[in-house]
């Protein structure tokens, strides 16, 4: 059904779509390529902030030559009037003769309607090219629209003997290449989350510090039931530049009244520009984040936090980076091992960054 050229151009659209992951707000990062006679006339990705959409930008680049062309789009063109006119109507007006779509849009305002607009106008529409790759590229948006929570990626760095490090001691598990990849993962995410234990131990910045990507730091979230985040921490001191949310997920048995200083700490965090969000469970927290348009959550660091997400079935992707060295007796054991993945996850990638290994797993159901 699909030609080699079809696969090549949709592959190009999918690569484009990844350029603005984490930068398009509540809108999906979509790629669009306009092609005629084997020549690309226009190619675009959803703009930062979510508008303009990829299709309208690509059509503007193609101009009048778009008439009779094929449009390769990673997600069904929108069909509803929002801040901009529907992309499906723009494709009709431009006179394209064929639209190849990777995925249909689960948004009830769109699902199937964009396709109907195109077909009713006599445009040939074909759906499902490189669908598996598309689901990975749009995993955050699809999860938020179908399950009303962000797509969750867990990341842990482990030693060759399965340790995270030593308590009270900073240990470098992986090398600079693997650590640079962590910054790429941060840049592709809408938000990053750690536990208060990690903050107390490491005082991390949780920003993107790769050259040319420093403006792509995601929202930073700290699980901190007792609101103990130090005002002197890197996170609080930089909250005016990169937002910080302290999430107090309170178990039913937790009694905030038993800590009379808690309200004082809460007020101090608020005055420092930190948002305090109180929920009853991790599931409630994820639902709240999705309601704010957060589609992808990167959970980095913290054995307890990682284990909690994993065992509550809230992890969709797991990335295990493994360094070549061993910690030995007395090390802090990783809560996740490759054997833990067997039941519900499948390994989709294994790569080497220098002497470090990286294994990526995704949920299989």
Rounded CA gap, 26 and 200, in Å?
Answer: 32
Q: How far apart are CA 188 and CA 23, in angstroms?
A: 8
- 278 is known as an active-site residue: no
Q: Are 42 and 62 in contact (CB under 8 A)?
A: yes
Residue 257 tokens, joined: 């009244």
183 is in an annotated binding site: no
**186 annotated ligand binder:** yes
Determine how many CB atoms are found less than 10 A away from the CB of residue 211: 5
Residue 353 CB-density burial (10 A; 0-12 exposed, 13-18 middle, 19+ buried): middle
Task: Report whether 185 belongs to an annotated binding site.
Answer: no
Decide if 230 contacts 196 (C-beta within 8 A): no
Is 75 within 8 Å of 84 (Cβ atoms)?
no
Token pair recorded at residue 286? 């994820």
Say whether 78 counts as a known binding-site residue: yes
Provide Rg for the chain, Cα atoms.
22
Residue 126 assigned as binding residue: no
| Residue 16 is assigned to a ligand binding site | no
* Ligand-binding site membership of 209 (annotated): yes
**142 annotated ligand binder:** no
CA proximity to 364, closest of 336, 335, 341: 341
Q: Flag whether 358 is marked binding.
A: no
Pick the catalytic residue from 55, 76, 188, 362: 55
User: Is position 157 annotated in a ligand binding site?
Assistant: yes
Return binding residues for substrate.
186, 206, 209, 300
Q: Which residues are annotated as a binding site for NADP(+)?
A: 157, 198, 202
Q: Known catalytic residues?
A: 55
Annotated binding-site residues read 53, 78, 87, 157, 186, 198, 202, 206, 209, 300
């Amino acid at each position: 059904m699909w030609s080699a050229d079809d696969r090549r151009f949709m592959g190009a659209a999918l690569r484009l779509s990844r350029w603005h992951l984490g930068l398009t707000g509540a809108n999906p990062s979509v790629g669009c390529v306009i092609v005629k006679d084997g020549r690309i006339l226009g190619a675009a990705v959803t703009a930062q902030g979510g508008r303009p959409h990829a299709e309208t930008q690509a059509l503007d680049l193609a101009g009048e030559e778009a008439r009779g062309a094929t449009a390769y789009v990673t997600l069904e063109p929108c069909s509803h009037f929002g801040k901009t006119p529907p992309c499906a109507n723009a494709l009709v007006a431009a006179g394209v003769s064929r639209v190849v779509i990777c995925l249909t849009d689960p948004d009830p305002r769109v699902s199937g309607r964009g396709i109907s607009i195109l077909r009713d106008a006599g445009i040939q529409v074909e759906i499902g090219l490189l669908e598996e790759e598309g689901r990975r590229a749009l995993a955050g948006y699809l999860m938020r629209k179908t399950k009303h929570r962000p797509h969750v990626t867990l990341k842990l760095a482990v030693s060759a003997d399965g340790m995270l490090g030593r308590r009270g001691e900073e240990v470098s598990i992986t090398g600079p290449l693997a650590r640079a990849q962590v910054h790429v993962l941060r840049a592709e995410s809408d938000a990053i989350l750690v536990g208060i234990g990690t903050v107390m131990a490491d005082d991390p910045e949780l920003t993107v510090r790769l050259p040319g990507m420093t403006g792509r730091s995601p929202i930073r979230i700290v699980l901190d039931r007792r609101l103990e985040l130090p005002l002197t921490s890197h996170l609080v001191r930089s909250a005016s530049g990169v937002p910080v949310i302290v999430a107090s997920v309170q178990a039913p048995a937790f009694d905030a009244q038993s800590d009379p200083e808690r309200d004082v700490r809460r007020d101090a965090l608020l005055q420092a520009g930190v948002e305090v969000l109180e929920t009853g469970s991790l599931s409630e927290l994820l639902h709240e984040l999705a309601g704010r348009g957060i589609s992808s959550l990167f959970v980095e660091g913290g054995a307890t936090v990682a284990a909690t997400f994993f065992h509550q079935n809230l992890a969709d992707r797991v990335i295990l980076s493994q360094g070549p060295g061993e910690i030995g007796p007395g090390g802090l054991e990783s809560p996740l091992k490759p054997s833990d993945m067997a039941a519900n996850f499948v390994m989709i990638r294994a790569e080497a960054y220098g002497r470090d290994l990286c294994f990526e797993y995704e949920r299989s159901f």
